[in-house]
Amino acid sequence: MKIGYARVSTRDQNLDLQLDALKRAGCERIYQDVASGSKTARPALDELLGQVRAGDVLVIWKLDRMGRSLKHLVELVGNLIERKVGWYLICLHRWPSLSAN
- The pLDDT value recorded for residue 98 is 46
| pLDDT bucket at 53, cuts 50 / 70 / 90 | very high
Contact present, 65 and 42 (Cβ < 8 Å) = no
- Indicate whether 52 pLDDT > 90: yes
pLDDT in tens, 56-79: 999 999 888 887 788 888 898 899
Q: What is the set of domains in the chain, with CATH numbers?
A: 2-89 (3.40.50.1390)
* β-pair partners for 58: 3, 87
DSSP symbol at 65: G
Q: What is the pTM of this model?
A: 0.83
Contact by Cβ (8 Å): 21, 61: yes
Question: Helix H segments across 1-101?
Answer: 16-24, 43-51, 70-82
Cβ burial 36-51 (10 Å sphere, 16+ → b, else e): ebeeeebebbeebbee
Catalytic residues: 9
